[in-house]
Amino acid sequence: MVRDLRSIAATVRGELLEGTLPADAPVDEAMRLDEFTVVGNPAFATLVVAGQAELLRALRTPARASALARAAVVSADDSPRLRAALARAGATAVLAADTPADALHPRLVALLAIDQAAEDRRVTTGTKVLTQVARRGGVRAVVAELAHRLDGWAVLVDPHGRVITTAGAGGLHVQDAVAVAFNRPVRVRHPGLQVHPVGPGEDLTAYLVIASREGSRSRSRDLASQAAALLDLVLRTHDHTATERLGREVMIGTLLAGGPAATELLRRWSVLDSTLTAFALTARSRSVDLERLVLRWLDELGSVHVVTQEGGHLLGFLRDDHADEFARLVELVTPEMRAPLRLGLGSSAPVDALARSAEEARQALEVAVTDARPVVRYRALPTVSYVLDRLADGDAARIASVLDPLRGANGRHDDLARTLRVYLAEHGTWGVAAERLGIHRQTLASRIRRVEDLTGLSMGDPDDRVAAWLALRALDR
């Protein structure tokens, strides 16, 4: 922790006389009176150690008395005369310390050095953690971890004042953060904010604004400064453009359509394999930059970026011999992350007919989410898939007909069927299901009631839930 004047007085067993400085003013250095000229950092108190005779001589000089009023005097001596001189100058002091005069200064220097070393270690450890978090979750994860370590909140805004991300209670203080970052002449409701530019002045990428409830302002300042440098690096080196994302989305659409066009596109993309394996991956928290994480893994594997965002998950294709290694990466990183990953792997399929593998990956992902398992392979599912794969087409159609009342005017299963699928996959957990669907909980509840009215099924009945799930899986055939 950072020492304040009150803790210094308690340590040397002296009496604290408050003057210009408050009792909770943080302390950053200690020096002898003959070494003292001015206070180096106005945000911190400088301890000036001297005996009574030296102090009385210095306080008789107006310039010296003014300088000492902005510092904190520490002395082993005490007398009414000394107290009166300090009071006239408005100086803060710790008098009658129980340490001998010749040992008082070395003791204070050692005390502050030990505390500073501890602070430095905490900043170093925090920086290491922020670096690890940046590799896994990018900008949002760094800001979230910083707010957690500072026991406060953080707001990251771009040079135009638009919010990039917030953490802690930052979302409630965006206006204050923007006002402080841009020096706008408005009243700020939250005092004690720190602003850290992200990037050099001529090439600024953002402003990081923090508020901390912890006692150490120096540690929060140092850690936030390190975070700002890290954010500048992340923002500059991992900015996947919208054009690239759109290109990958169009590519996946062509692969799912299949046929010669899919084969030709992959060949032009330098993918010469005759078969690929689909994967579907999701994270159980928004703090994970899933796309960036997956692209880095694909680079490590030497795979082309055949991946795109699809609903609440990523859908992509891997070389068959990369599927197991990709699964291993998910299994390794999941225990280390606060928000675990869930991966579904389809079966190997010809490059001109990948839609079936993609659907298998989606189904395996639903099982992974439902069972809270990091990795599920479609070929390892022995229950529902095993049964449905052995049914005749007519039998599967009869099972799927349970959901015929949910078809829209175009004869297809759209919103209601998808809502039912997500609701069942999340064990009827309203909040999680609504988040996956991107709708309000009340909207979800309304849709489920509509499903029950149309089908005659009750989601409160276990048999009806099984029937609905079998019908959904039969529709996928």
Structural domain including 174 reads: 118-237
Residue 235's pLDDT is 78
Of the candidates 280, 128, 154, 171, the one whose C-alpha atom is nearest the C-alpha of residue 210 is 154
Mean pLDDT of 98-111: 86
pLDDT at residue 355 tops 80? yes
pLDDT at residue 463 tops 70? yes
Of the three residues 332, 353, 381, the one that is the final residue of a domain is 381
Mean pLDDT of 392-409: 78
First-to-last alpha carbon distance for the chain, in angstroms, is 63
Residue at token pair 């389809």: 346
What are residue 116's phi and psi, to 5 degrees?
A: -65, -35
**Are residues 374 and 410 both part of a single domain?**
no
Q: Does 462 reside within a domain?
A: yes
Residue 97's pLDDT is 79
Mean pLDDT of 213-218: 60
**Are residues 196 and 271 both part of a single domain?**
no
**Are residues 281 and 197 both part of a single domain?**
no
Instruction: Please state which of the ranges 20-24, 119-123, 256-260, 288-292 shows the lowest mean pLDDT.
Output: 119-123
DSSP state of 466: H
| Helices (H), ranges, 343-382 | 355-371
pLDDT at residue 281 tops 90? yes
**Are residues 415 and 430 both part of a single domain?**
yes
Q: Does 162 reside within a domain?
A: yes
**Are residues 252 and 313 both part of a single domain?**
yes
pLDDT at residue 358 tops 60? yes
**Are residues 406 and 329 both part of a single domain?**
no
3-class state of residue 469 by DSSP: helix
DSSP state of 404: G
Mean pLDDT of 320-345: 83
CB 455 within 8 A of CB 405: yes
Residue 79's pLDDT is 92
pLDDT at residue 195 tops 80? yes
pLDDT at residue 9 tops 50? yes
* CATH code where residue 270 lies: 3.30.70
pLDDT at residue 286 tops 70? no
3-class state of residue 49 by DSSP: strand
pLDDT at residue 244 tops 90? no
Report the amino acid identity of residue 385. S
Residue 382's pLDDT is 59
**Are residues 277 and 375 both part of a single domain?**
yes
Residue 150's pLDDT is 81
What are residue 361's phi and psi, to 5 degrees?
A: -65, -40
Of the candidates 109, 101, 150, 111, the one whose C-alpha atom is nearest the C-alpha of residue 129 is 150
Residue 385's pLDDT is 60
* CATH code where residue 68 lies: 3.40.1390
DSSP β-ladder status, 163-167 and 27-32:
unpaired
DSSP state of 44: S
Mean pLDDT of 58-84: 91
Instruction: Please state which of the ranges 30-34, 83-87, 126-130, 352-356 shows the lowest mean pLDDT.
Output: 126-130
**Are residues 232 and 246 both part of a single domain?**
no
Higher pLDDT, residue 293 or 80? 80
Q: Does 227 reside within a domain?
A: yes
Q: Does 125 reside within a domain?
A: yes
**Are residues 200 and 141 both part of a single domain?**
yes
Tell me the C-alpha distance between 217 and 2, whole Å.
8
Residue 51's pLDDT is 92
Of the three residues 381, 416, 445, the one that is the final residue of a domain is 381
Of the candidates 37, 60, 63, the one whose C-alpha atom is nearest the C-alpha of residue 48 is 37
pLDDT at residue 37 tops 90? no
Residue 336's pLDDT is 59
The pLDDT tens digits of the residues spanning 377-389 come to: 987 775 666 566 6
* CATH code where residue 434 lies: 1.10.10.2840
Kindly state the percentage of the chain with pLDDT values over 70. Answer: 87
DSSP β-ladder status, 27-32 and 15-17:
unpaired
Mean pLDDT of 198-223: 76
Q: Does 106 reside within a domain?
A: no
Of the three residues 237, 264, 296, the one that is the final residue of a domain is 237
Of the candidates 196, 30, 20, the one whose C-alpha atom is nearest the C-alpha of residue 103 is 30
Q: Does 107 reside within a domain?
A: no
**Are residues 201 and 313 both part of a single domain?**
no
The pLDDT tens digits of the residues spanning 402-433 come to: 888 888 778 788 888 889 888 887 778 788 78
pLDDT-derived band at 473, boundaries 50, 70, 90: confident
**Are residues 337 and 351 both part of a single domain?**
yes
Higher pLDDT, residue 325 or 410? 325
Tell me the C-alpha distance between 146 and 167, whole Å.
8
The pLDDT tens digits of the residues spanning 119-150 come to: 556 667 767 777 877 776 778 888 888 888 88
**Are residues 264 and 319 both part of a single domain?**
yes
Number of structural domains (the chain) is 4
* CATH code where residue 140 lies: 3.30.450.40
The pLDDT tens digits of the residues spanning 177-191 come to: 888 888 887 666 666
Q: How many CB atoms lie within 10 A of CB 302?
A: 8
Residue 238's pLDDT is 47
Higher pLDDT, residue 129 or 468? 468
Give this prediction's pTM.
0.39
Higher pLDDT, residue 5 or 218? 5
DSSP β-ladder status, 92-95 and 15-17:
antiparallel
